[in-house]
Chain A
Amino acid sequence: MQAVLSLKKYLKPYMPFAIIAPLMMVLEVAMDLVQPTIMQHIIDNGIAKKDTPYVMQMFGLMILCAVIGLIGGAGCSIYASKTAINFAADIRQDLYETITYFSNSNKDHFTLGKLITNITSDVEMLQRALTMLLKIFVRGPFTFIGAILIVFLTARELFPILLVVVPILALSIIFFTKLSGNLFLKVQEAVDAVNTKVQENLAGIRVIKAYNRKSHQIQQFTTVNETLMKRNIQADQIIGILMPLTAFVVNMGIIAALWLGAIKVENSTIEVGVILAFINYLMMIMGGLMSSSAVLMQIARAVPSANRIAAVLGEQSEIISAEHPVTTPIKGSVEFDRVSFAYNKNNEPVLKNISFKAEPGETIGIIGMTGSGKSSIVKLIPRMFDADQGSIKIDGRPIKDYDLQTLRGAIGFTPQKATLFSRTIEENVKYGNEEASLEELIEALECSCALEFVEKLELREQYMVTQGATNLSGGQKQRLAMARAFIRKPAILILDDTTSAVDSISEKRIQQAIEENFEDSTKFIVSSKISSIRHADKILVLDDGVVVGQGTHKELLENNKPYQEIVSTQLVRGGTLNE
């Protein structure tokens, strides 16, 4: 609940709206409530005394009430929408901003999928709940209480009926609401089971067909499908009792009113109009109860959404610029001094005691088996993560002293997975440097061997990349991702296994182009292929998070066992197959 309250500040700018909306609703409800009383007066005073002017007067009053009610209702609707939509839009903006500035470990903590759900459906949920709260939640209870009050004041003879009917109604609504919560939870589980099965079968259809497991899959599906049907029937049938039951209880209230009313009318304690008014109020009471319970459920469902949103908004990014950040341009010398790092602080570190030094203009190759920690090393340089122990220095200063913009602005990083945005090729590459000229763009494309395929496209650099870059091949994506880093002309260039889908001839050309164009930059090349790193000035051989060898290709070939092993599996014809 505290989390929900922390979102209150987003409501503040719209507070006047948020107050006006329920007030307008009160107006509408009040007009609705007055109507049966006017009717009662028309019947008991107007008709009984055949007083035409009085009837006309009252009739006019009724129409006036309807109009006032309309104004109230429309006003409430307008202001409720204004409040809720603005509130949601502001939260969405703040959420997005918070998430964008999150560090990697913040994102890992929440997971990207959940963050996306958060900003899309959770916000939507909250907006809907707020609209409901301002509109219907005022309407329901107010109608309910108002109607009871009026009956108490004007039809006290029939009031005892309410003492019986209202508790029964309230109890049965509460009972069924609770029950339906449980039943639908079970239905939801069954729905999820069916969806998972279907989704897996669609994604794995080739495996299923290759192994000829059709009947096995159908058998599994039949079970979950059957469960879903049974739970659906059970839930719907039990919930289906509520409507006829409440209608029945109200109808019994009407019967009681007629019965009791008939006796009282005979005794002349009340007039017949009172009975009619009472019946109308009874209907209103039921309506008010039903809608309040429906809204209450909706609001209750929004509470977890609000909690999730508050949790994200309350999270501090773990990686921020220092208080008095250094903004001097970076030349590119990088030094790791006994650096250790773990993604999960409870687990064994992925990097242990890593030390090395790279001077501007040097090429550093990093090689090792899958999971040896190669990528983790380079991820520490732009502070995607912060090291747990040891220090990383750039140009002799700890990287934490630098302004993040200065630090990252000096780095051209190509991650392992070539991710592009759904924009044109030009926009994608210029993402690395928006001020780049057309010549620089072509130069970057050329350097990454991307120009050869871009030129063949109908729209060249204006070719639209689809979401997930499904209209490009893996090699093409990698080339564009490299071009995006190249166009920055960075002091530090990092290529994290970026040529796995590029053919060997192009890779060779890219290597040459990097040597020529980035003579002064510090270059880090991560790869599991010897051919990608053998020309490096310094090669780090990584095994299980530890540097087990450091030197040039030649040196390592002579004296480093792990390196020799990797070389032998990759270079010797037939590998060790023949041993």
Chain B
Amino acid sequence: MNKPQGRPAGPPPIGRHPGPRFNGPAEKAKDQKATLKRIWSYLKNQRVGIMSSIFFVVVSTLLSLLGPLLIGRIIDDYILRFNIEGAIRMILVLAGIYIVSAIFTWLQTFMMIRVSQKTIRELRQQLFEKFQSLPIAIYDKRQQGDLMSRMTNDIENLNAALSQSIIQIVSTVLSVVGTGIAMFYLNWVLAVVTLLVIPIIIWSTKQIIKRSSKNFSQRQRDLGNLNGFIEETISNSHITTLFGKEEQTVAQFKEANEKLRASALKADITSGFLGPINNFINNLGIGLVIGVGALLVIVNFGVSVGVIASFVTYTRQFFRPINQLSNLFNTFQSAIAGAERVFEILDEQNESADVPEAITKNRYEGDVEFRNVEFAYQPNKPVLRKLSFRAKAGETIAFVGPTGSGKTTIIQLLNRFYDAASGEILIDGQDIKRYKMANLRNHIGVVLQDTYLFSGSVRENIRYGKLDATDEEVERAAETAYAHNFIKYLPQGYDTMLVSGGMNLSQGQRQLIAIARAILEDPDILILDEATSSVDTMTEVHIQKGLNNLMQGRTSFVIAHRLKTIENADQILVIKDGAILEQGNHDGLMEQKGLYASLQHQLQVQQ
């Protein structure tokens, strides 16, 4: 999760290189109009803020146009005529204009920041809540990094556009138009001379951007390759060491590094011309204004020294925004593209809603039945075929079978991570879709194959199973799960802080905490999906005792690849290719001499 934070502090994201005054080609949205409309629907609530800030920007821009005009007037009508009192009067007016302009400029920023930050907060909140409501299938389909970048990069792009670009575009357009009018008002010949420079600006900028965007994409590709190479070879560097491949790896790196050196030089040098050329055009424009202006004064063509003064200031005001305009539109475009990607997620279907008058229960008996259940993650690739079985309340059901046979899918249908395509799943005689989903999940405890712990203390992580559990309850659960033994040796015991994902614990330790969490939840139905796969056999024996206590009296579903842990189950279902191949208890299945018996037999042979 490398570089989502787009704030000015912190290092900038890898790979996004700031070309001097040029950011490379912007990403375009697919349907700009619809997206813009939708952004507006968010802004609507802040109408007062937006309106007032647009008002402030219009006024302050107009006032800034008045400044140069007034300076010219002061020089021509007062200073050059030695009218000191008049000059001072006008100067005071100018001072007033400057004061108001400064205040309005600040007010406009003040208002717009509120508007954009509130909008962004709302959008972020909505997106987060959406993440919580999306069905698991979406998480299978989309990469975590992709969803993450929508929350960070895309929203940040929109934020940048909302808080700055909109206002800047308004003020730029206004001041360019206003300056143009003011120039023509002052002297049309001089105005035409100044405006002649504009085509040069546009042409040269276009030329440079055309060349550099090609170079920039090459540079981005090379940088991406290099960073990918670095990421992979450094993460796996123990392999390089073990196989003594240092020299080759360094040589490969050199190749990629030299490629980047060449393309980066090309890209930076072309785009580097943009700055000096802009500066040149500025100076050229001002030179033209002064030179031509002076000649016009001499030939008495309605130009005065004051007019030249106004023009010089206007020219400075005029070119800068034009130079920035293309950059602004880039920001704006990537913001719209970003917003579109955020909306795309917001438009995804939610998890199926509860049926009207859904049932809630305080306790489930735990009588579970699958009737002809079929399911497929992708069309035409059935994972479960006409699956039927029944677990009586309190029984322990074990699933055995090769990887990919559909064991995990069966239990994921039970807590409605997915819904069956056809057939019925009944709990206590009712179709599970008739229960309130939240109520159902509250009474089913799951320990997943690859468990996840949150950043926070060990205690908080166990307490996740029951938010109002006391410290004693937490510790008792940990003891049952045999987790207490290692927790007490952690630096701060139960208060030891875990990092995201619990990565400072071993996989086995994480599984123990997950088991404690499930024990604390005290569910009516328990699901253990390879819950002890990463725990060594000695420890497993101890946990098994705790789990046996826990499983007593509640319906439990167990998946385990160590066959011996499930030999005591009431029913063992051997699953192959999404269907039940064999069914019975250990002794019965051994007598059947089918797949189960042969699996057990293989184990015996090895030993």
User: Is A59's beta carbon under 8 Å from chain B?
Assistant: yes
6 nearest A-B pairs in the assembled complex, by CB-CB distance: A73-B276, A59-B291, A77-B272, A240-B109, A62-B287, A204-B452
Residues of A within 8 A of B538 (CB): 369, 565-566, 569
Interface SS of B by simple majority: helix
Expressed in whole angstroms, the minimum distance between the Cβ of B285 and any Cβ of chain A is: 9
Residues of B within 8 A of A225 (CB): 121, 124-125, 128
Decide: B236 and A419 in contact? CB cutoff 8 A: yes
User: Is B346's beta carbon under 8 Å from chain A?
Assistant: no
Given known A-B contacts A81-B272, A202-B148, A188 and B10 have beta carbons under 8 A apart: yes
How many residues of A sit at the interface, in one of the four size bands?
35 or more
Tell me which of A185, A199, A221 contacts B125 (CB under 8 A). A221
User: Is A453's beta carbon under 8 Å from chain B?
Assistant: no
Interface 9-mer from B305-313, B354-362, B371-379: B305-313
Residues of B within 8 A of A419 (CB): 235-236, 238-239
User: Is B588's beta carbon under 8 Å from chain A?
Assistant: no
29 A-B pairs within 8 Å (CB atoms) are namely A43-B308, A55-B295, A59-B290, A81-B268, A115-B234, A120-B230, A195-B151, A199-B1, A199-B500, A201-B132, A204-B452, A206-B139, A206-B452, A210-B448, A214-B133, A217-B132, A225-B121, A241-B106, A245-B106, A251-B101, A255-B95, A272-B79, A301-B11, A369-B539, A384-B242, A431-B245, A575-B541, A575-B544, A575-B564
Residues of A within 8 A of B98 (CB): 248, 251-252, 255
Decide: B312 and A112 in contact? CB cutoff 8 A: no
Expressed in whole angstroms, the minimum distance between the Cβ of B68 and any Cβ of chain A is: 10
User: Is A4's beta carbon under 8 Å from chain B?
Assistant: no
Decide: B7 and A184 in contact? CB cutoff 8 A: yes
Residues of A within 8 A of B101 (CB): 244, 247, 251
User: Is B387's beta carbon under 8 Å from chain A?
Assistant: no
User: Is A554's beta carbon under 8 Å from chain B?
Assistant: no
Expressed in whole angstroms, the minimum distance between the Cβ of A453 and any Cβ of chain B is: 13
User: Is B405's beta carbon under 8 Å from chain A?
Assistant: no
Decide: A233 and B548 in contact? CB cutoff 8 A: no
User: Is B458's beta carbon under 8 Å from chain A?
Assistant: no
Closest to A562 in B: B538
Tell me which of A50, A85, A488 contacts B264 (CB under 8 A). A85
User: Is B565's beta carbon under 8 Å from chain A?
Assistant: yes
Q: Mark A469-499, 1 if CB is under 8 A from B, else 0.
A: 0000101000000001000100000000000
Decide: A107 and B417 in contact? CB cutoff 8 A: no
User: Is A541's beta carbon under 8 Å from chain B?
Assistant: no
User: Is B475's beta carbon under 8 Å from chain A?
Assistant: no
Decide: B91 and A259 in contact? CB cutoff 8 A: yes
Decide: B312 and A280 in contact? CB cutoff 8 A: yes
Decide: A528 and B287 in contact? CB cutoff 8 A: no
Given known A-B contacts A100-B249, A210-B444, A244-B106, A229 and B120 have beta carbons under 8 A apart: yes
Q: Mark A128-169, 1 if CB is under 8 A from B, else 0.
A: 100100010000000000000000000000000000000000
Decide: B238 and A384 in contact? CB cutoff 8 A: yes
Residues of A within 8 A of B8 (CB): 180, 184
Q: How far is the CA of A240 from the CA of B111 in the complex (A)?
A: 11
Decide: B269 and A81 in contact? CB cutoff 8 A: yes
Decide: A74 and B273 in contact? CB cutoff 8 A: yes
Residues of A within 8 A of B506 (CB): 370-371
Tell me which of A42, A124, A128, A382 contacts B242 (CB under 8 A). A382
User: Is B147's beta carbon under 8 Å from chain A?
Assistant: yes
User: Is B594's beta carbon under 8 Å from chain A?
Assistant: no
Residues of B within 8 A of A565 (CB): 538
Interface 9-mer from A358-366, A405-413, A517-525: A405-413
User: Is A218's beta carbon under 8 Å from chain B?
Assistant: yes
Decide: B291 and A58 in contact? CB cutoff 8 A: yes
User: Interface size (B, Cβ < 8 Å)?
Assistant: 156
Contacts A124-B12, A207-B448, A229-B120 aside, 4 further interface pairs with beta carbons under 8 A come to A74-B277, A102-B237, A265-B79, A421-B233
Decide: A96 and B257 in contact? CB cutoff 8 A: yes
Q: Mark A241-282, 1 if CB is under 8 A from B, else 0.
A: 101110110011011001101110110000011011001100
Decide: A203 and B500 in contact? CB cutoff 8 A: yes
Expressed in whole angstroms, the minimum distance between the Cβ of A195 and any Cβ of chain B is: 6
Q: Mark B373-416, 1 if CB is under 8 A from A, else 0.
A: 00000000000000000000000000000110000000000010
User: Is B325's beta carbon under 8 Å from chain A?
Assistant: no
Expressed in whole angstroms, the minimum distance between the Cβ of B63 and any Cβ of chain A is: 11
Decide: B234 and A86 in contact? CB cutoff 8 A: no
Decide: B455 and A67 in contact? CB cutoff 8 A: no
Expressed in whole angstroms, the minimum distance between the Cβ of A511 and any Cβ of chain B is: 9
Interface 9-mer from B28-36, B82-90, B180-188: B82-90
Expressed in whole angstroms, the minimum distance between the Cβ of B88 and any Cβ of chain A is: 6
Decide: A229 and B117 in contact? CB cutoff 8 A: yes
Given known A-B contacts A81-B269, A236-B163, A432-B243, A213 and B464 have beta carbons under 8 A apart: yes
User: Is A121's beta carbon under 8 Å from chain B?
Assistant: yes
User: Is A571's beta carbon under 8 Å from chain B?
Assistant: yes
Given known A-B contacts A52-B295, A86-B261, A78 and B537 have beta carbons under 8 A apart: no
Expressed in whole angstroms, the minimum distance between the Cβ of A508 and any Cβ of chain B is: 6
Q: How far is the CA of A73 from the CA of B283 in the complex (A)?
A: 13
Expressed in whole angstroms, the minimum distance between the Cβ of B212 and any Cβ of chain A is: 12
Interface 9-mer from B427-435, B477-485, B599-607: B599-607
Expressed in whole angstroms, the minimum distance between the Cβ of B344 and any Cβ of chain A is: 16
Given known A-B contacts A243-B105, A244-B102, A431-B245, A252 and B132 have beta carbons under 8 A apart: no
Given known A-B contacts A211-B464, A467-B228, A531 and B606 have beta carbons under 8 A apart: yes
Residues of B within 8 A of A46 (CB): 294, 298
User: Is A198's beta carbon under 8 Å from chain B?
Assistant: yes
User: Is A436's beta carbon under 8 Å from chain B?
Assistant: no
Decide: A208 and B132 in contact? CB cutoff 8 A: yes
Interface residues of A in 183-209 (CB under 8 A from B): 184-185, 187-188, 191-192, 194-209
Expressed in whole angstroms, the minimum distance between the Cβ of B464 and any Cβ of chain A is: 6
Decide: B269 and A32 in contact? CB cutoff 8 A: no
Residues of B within 8 A of A80 (CB): 272
User: Is A504's beta carbon under 8 Å from chain B?
Assistant: yes
Tell me which of B17, B257, B276, B454 contacts A70 (CB under 8 A). B276
Q: Mark A279-291, 1 if CB is under 8 A from B, else 0.
A: 1100100000000
User: Is B113's beta carbon under 8 Å from chain A?
Assistant: yes
Interface 9-mer from B38-46, B70-78, B335-343, B571-579: B70-78
Given known A-B contacts A52-B295, A244-B102, A408-B244, A74 and B253 have beta carbons under 8 A apart: no
Decide: A577 and B606 in contact? CB cutoff 8 A: no
Q: How far is the CA of A265 from the CA of B287 in the complex (A)?
A: 25
Residues of A within 8 A of B521 (CB): 211
Tell me which of B17, B84, B109, B286 contacts A35 (CB under 8 A). B286
Q: How far is the CA of A262 from the CA of B211 in the complex (A)?
A: 50
Q: How far is the CA of A188 from the CA of B136 in the complex (A)?
A: 31
Decide: B537 and A566 in contact? CB cutoff 8 A: yes
User: Is B465's beta carbon under 8 Å from chain A?
Assistant: yes
Given known A-B contacts A202-B148, A569-B541, A258 and B280 have beta carbons under 8 A apart: no
Given known A-B contacts A276-B312, A421-B236, A77 and B257 have beta carbons under 8 A apart: no
Residues of B within 8 A of A66 (CB): 280, 283-284, 287
Decide: B5 and A195 in contact? CB cutoff 8 A: yes
User: Is A305's beta carbon under 8 Å from chain B?
Assistant: yes
